Amino acid sequence: MKKHSPLERPKKDWLRVFTALRQRNFRLFWSGQMISLLGTMMQSIGQSWLVLKLTHSALQLGLVGALQALPILLFSIFGGVFADRWPKRRILLLTQTAAMIQALLLWTLIATGTLQLWHLYVLALLLGFTNSLGHPASRAFVVAMVGREDLPNAVALNSSISTLARIVGPALGGVIIGASGVTMLFLLNALSFIPVIIALALIKSHELHIQLPQSGSVGVRQHTWQSLREGVDYVWQTPAVLFMIFVVGLVLLFGSNFNVLLPLFATDVLHAGATVFGLLSAAIGLGALLSALLLAWSNQQPTLRHVLTAMLVFGILEVFFAISHSYLLSLVLIASIGFAEETFAMQSMTILQTVTPSHLSGRVMSMQVLFFDGSLPLGYLLMGWLSGLYGAPIAMLSGALLSLLIVGSGWIQHFLARDALQLMRTDEVQ
């Protein structure tokens, strides 16, 4: 038997991070998403810049963001119904094309000098509707591309490029705005959708691990409300799925409010400016990226105990961050918070996709989108209100203590969900 040198073994161990990329369909999708997400993050800073130039109003800035998030909160569960009713690849082709058209319209309005504030309202709302349909389908499509064995690795790899885009995209967008103006930024974002659309077109449906339903098949001829009720009933009657969605969703609701609180910590607590705010924001992204790469490398099926432990660490770290007045300590703590948040969020998503039957995956993922993503604006409002009354440290401390209370209740309740999860995984193997 050939023996590998000590230098070769670490190299092969490191390649485990990219295990899911050995599958052609996922490799195509992941590569296309990498470019598309970078463009999306560039657009986010460009959109904020446009609103500020047009209005010089923080209220208008928040309103545009709320209009984009509102459809996800209200309609993502219906997106899950359609994700189970139609082939997910077709839905993603439709939504990615619609998002590209939205970006092209925005670029056209800017290039022709006809952009008005109400255009941004309408386009933000349309993009929100597109995301409410596309997000459940995208997350449910991952298991179809890679199967359940490589699912933990694939979920983590998807998260890693999303996190990397959040770090690099705004910085690159700022450079482009400074060098060429905001018009070029929106054109580049529109073009960034082309790779993922091509990738989706090249995916071979017969190589998918879970064959997707055809739009005319008998099994999907239900009324929308019947389909929705079937998905909600499954979540409500399945302890492991209900536990993941509600417990993790509530912790994110009360604990993941950095967009609102970090600027206040940088100015009012650490007595610094925009540079420190930027470094704190980058530290969260760096911690999340390291977590995603570690999860991809391990490629292990998580347990409820793993998720609860990561949420417990998350809450404790937030308590220490809330009372810290040291810049260096706060920087280390916020990076660790980003690491812990990414860990429990990705592990919970992996569990949900692993145990959910394929014919219900879209609807369950839509519930996950609703509680994980759609609840965040509500958390922003709550933390903004508390910080206005009592200051940012008290607001974060309150959110952290509420998160720890939820985790404590989760520890008490998780035994039933754990046994149900083990039984579901056993049935999946059989």
Q: What is the CATH number of the domain that holds 151?
A: 1.20.1250.20
The answer to whether the CB of 96 falls within 8 A of the CB of 193 is yes
Same domain, 195 and 314: no
d(CA 169, CA 186): 13
Domain boundary among the residues 210, 244, 272 is at 210
Task: Record the tokens describing residue 226, joined without a space.
Answer: 């019947």
Q: What is the DSSP string of 276-324?
A: HHHHHHHHHHHHHHHHHHHHHHH-----HHHHHHHHHHHHHHHHHHHH-
Exposure b/e, 76-108, CB count within 10 A at least 16 = b? bbbbbbbbbbbbbbebbbbbbebbbebbbbbbe
| Residues 60 and 164 occupy one common structural domain | yes
CA 195 – CA 32 distance, rounded (Å): 5
Residue 180, number of CB atoms within 10 A of its CB: 12
pLDDT in tens, the chain (430 residues): 444 444 444 455 666 778 889 899 999 999 999 999 988 888 877 887 788 778 876 567 667 877 887 888 888 888 888 888 888 999 999 999 999 999 999 999 999 989 898 999 899 899 989 999 999 999 889 988 998 888 889 998 988 898 888 888 877 887 888 788 888 989 999 999 999 999 999 999 888 876 555 444 434 445 777 888 888 898 888 888 888 899 999 999 999 887 778 878 888 888 887 677 778 878 888 999 999 989 988 888 888 889 999 999 999 999 999 999 898 999 999 999 999 999 999 999 899 888 888 888 888 988 888 888 877 777 877 888 888 888 889 999 999 999 999 999 888 877 666 655 555 555 554 4
Helices (H) and strands (E) in the chain, counts: 16, 0
DSSP character at residue 263: H
114: three-class secondary structure by DSSP: coil
If asked whether residues 173 and 249 sit together in one domain, one would say no
CA distance 394 to 400: 10
Using the 3D structure, point to which of 176, 210, 244 is the last residue of a domain: 210
- 186 plus 281 within the same structural domain: no
Q: Phi and psi for 412 in degrees, rounded to 5?
A: -70, -40
- pLDDT attached to residue 415: 67
Domain match, 157 and 284 both: no
| 162 part of a folded domain | yes
Distance between CA atoms of residues 414 and 305, nearest Å = 8
Query: Of 422, 155, 177, 400, whose CA–CA distance to 300 is shortest?
Result: 155
Q: 415 and 349, same structural domain?
A: yes
Distance CA 20, CA 296 (A): 9
Domain boundary among 210, 237, 254: 210
pLDDT of residue 424: 56
Residue-range definition of the domain harbouring residue 413 = 223-430
pLDDT of residue 218: 39
Closest to 77 in 3D by CA, of 429, 386, 372, 277: 372
How far is it, in rounded angstroms, from Cα 37 to Cα 113?
27
Identity of residue 143? V
pTM of the model: 0.78
Question: Is residue 86 classed as helix, strand or coil in its secondary structure?
Answer: coil
Q: How many CB atoms lie within 10 A of CB 390?
A: 12
- Angstrom distances, CA of residue 179 to CA of 152, 273, 364, 374: 40, 24, 44, 35
**143 within 8 A of 210, measured Cβ to Cβ:** yes
Backbone dihedral angles phi then psi of residue 407, each to the nearest 5 degrees: -65, -40
201 and 242 belong to one structural domain: no
Contact 365, 139 (CB under 8 A): yes
Please count the structural domains in the chain: 2
Residue 87 token pair: 């082939």
45 token code pair: 């800073």
Query: Are 161 and 125 in a shared domain?
Result: yes
What does the pLDDT read at residue 258? Answer: 78
Shared domain check, 197 and 109: yes
Give rounded-to-5 percent helix, strand, coil for the chain: 85, 0, 15
Cα 282 from Cα 279, distance rounded (Å): 5
